[in-house]
Structure formats: structure tokens, C-alpha cells
Amino acid sequence: MELQEAIARRRMVRNYTQEPVDPAAVDRVIDAARCAPSAGFSQGQRFVVVTAPGTRSAIAELGGESHYVEQGFDRWMSLAPVHVVPCADERAYHERYQEPDKLGEDGELAWPVPYWHVDIGASLMALLLTVVEEGLAAGFFGVHRLDGLRELLGIPEGVHPIGVVTLGHPARDRRSGSLARGWRELDDVRYRERWSG
Ligand SMILES: Cc1cc2nc3c(=O)[nH]c(=O)nc-3n(C[C@H](O)[C@H](O)[C@H](O)COP(=O)(O)O)c2cc1C
């Protein structure tokens, strides 16, 4: 599949069939996410893959699935056959930036931007595009009770889960109301030479 086609076809899907997902396909998806860029090649991107129904239900509860159902969405969180929890391992960055080629005279980089969040975002996009290439579908939801997610999955301190990707074979779903906003035009987001307007 051509890249532009995968970009155009990617969308957040909020309903899945109960057809199992080939574990090898999940591995290919995670492998693509692994190959995203990272600051200093720190490679702090981590992924917790969850298929156990009880754990998926607990994650769905943390994600507020019942609120979605009240709004007419399907049980797209608990019924998605696979959850992937992308995590940013901040510790890997501090470790890497203590190495001689990264350590400045004033010590570790002052981190103008938390690069671990940048990198896991790049991984997320690689993951979502590979899902399309695999003929599968994915959605993303934020979890406000991150401590609950951390505890449930045994994620250590210093590692930041950024939310949950649901993954499965697509079923007819209800579209997000947010989409009514429509895409911003290129001219609304691209500035030439300087910020203007
Ligand atoms: C960081 C981030 C957080 C999101 N959180 C949620 C969420 O909590 N629940 C949800 O249903 N969709 C969530 N989405 C999906 C967006 O609503 C969706 O990407 C957006 O409406 C555009 O739709 P599309 O991805 O299908 O093109 C999130 C997306 C991103 C990138």
C-alpha cells in the first residue's frame, strides 16, 4: 500500500468484530512503532499489548467506556480484541543523555521539550499507519486515571503510558462528533518563512 493511501484511509475506528487478530500482525504493527525516530536514539518507546478479556474490561472502565455507550457508541474499548498501551520511558532519555556525547558542560540537557512524548507520538502514527496496511483498524482513547492504568499493568515509575490503542477487525461504527469540524485547510496551518496572520 502506498503511504499516501494509508494516510488517507487511517481513521479512528470505534467498533470491532470478534474475529481474533493474528498475533504476528500485532507484532508487525509494534515493530513499525519501534522504528520511529527518537531523541539521541534513546528508543524510549514501549508498548504493553493486552488481550486478556478481564484486563481489557478493566482498561475500558478506566477509559470511561460507559460514558461512550451512553452517547450511542459501541463497547469499542472492552470488545476490541487487542489493546496496545504506548508508553514513554523517560528513564531511557535521562540515561542516554548522561552519556559523554550528550552530556554538556552544564550537565544533562535542560529538556526544552519532553522528547519522550514527541517520540511516542511518532511511534503512535507509525503504529496507526501499519494497522491500515495490515487491513485492521484502530482507535485511541485517553485515560484520565493514569495511575489506575499504571497499577493495573505494572508500569513502573518514570514510564508514562499515553493512552490506549484499541485494535481489531473493523465493524460499522458511530463516527465522532468532533469530525463535524472538518479538516483545517493547508493555508490555515502552514506559515511561510515567519508566523503571520
Ligand atoms: C492524543 C489523542 C487523544 C485522543 N483521545 C480520544 C479519546 O479519548 N476518545 C476518543 O474517542 N477519541 C480520541 N482521539 C481520537 C480523535 O478524536 C480523532 O483522532 C479525531 O477526531 C480525528 O478523527 P480521525 O483520527 O478518525 O481522523 C484521540 C486522538 C488523539 C491523537
Question: What DSSP line would sit under 8-21, residue for residue?
Answer: HH--B---B-SPPP
The total of structural domains in the chain comes to 1
| Residue 179 domain flag | no
Residue 49 lies in a domain: yes
Is the residue at 131 inside a domain? yes
Give the model's pLDDT for residue 197: 73
The predicted structure's pLDDT at residue 15 = 98
Work out the angle at residue 124's Cα, subtended by the Cα atoms of residues 43 and 67, and round it to the nearest 5 degrees. Answer: 135
**What is the rounded CA–CA span in Å between residue 60 and residue 164?**
9
Ligand 1 and 73: CB distance under 6 A: no
For residue 34, give the CATH number of its domain: 3.40.109.10
- For the beta carbon of residue 8, count every other beta carbon within 10 angstroms: 10
Low-confidence residues in the chain, pLDDT < 70: none
CA of 140 to the centre of ligand 1 (A): 6
Q: How far is the CA of 45 from the centre of ligand 1 (A)?
A: 20
Does residue 149 sit within a domain? Answer: yes
| 196 in any annotated domain | no
Is 12 a domain residue? Answer: no
Does the residue 166 lie in any domain?
yes
Q: Which alpha helices (H) appear in 100-190, and where do they start and end?
A: 115-133, 146-153, 186-189
The residue nearest atom 13 of ligand 1, judged by CA position, is 141
| Each residue's pLDDT tens digit, 36-87 | 999 999 999 999 999 999 999 999 999 999 999 999 999 999 999 999 999 9
Distance from the Cα of residue 78 to its chain's centroid:
17
DSSP 179: G
Helix (H, G, I), strand (E, B) or coil at 110: coil
Contact assessment for residue 85 and residue 149, using Cβ atoms and an 8 Å cutoff: yes
- Domain assignment present for residue 181? The answer is no
Nearest-angstrom CA–CA distance, 27 and 92? 22
- Please give the model's pTM, rounded to 2 decimal places: 0.97
Instruction: Give the per-residue pLDDT at 181.
Output: 94
pLDDT of residue 1: 83
What residues make up the domain containing 45? Answer: 22-173
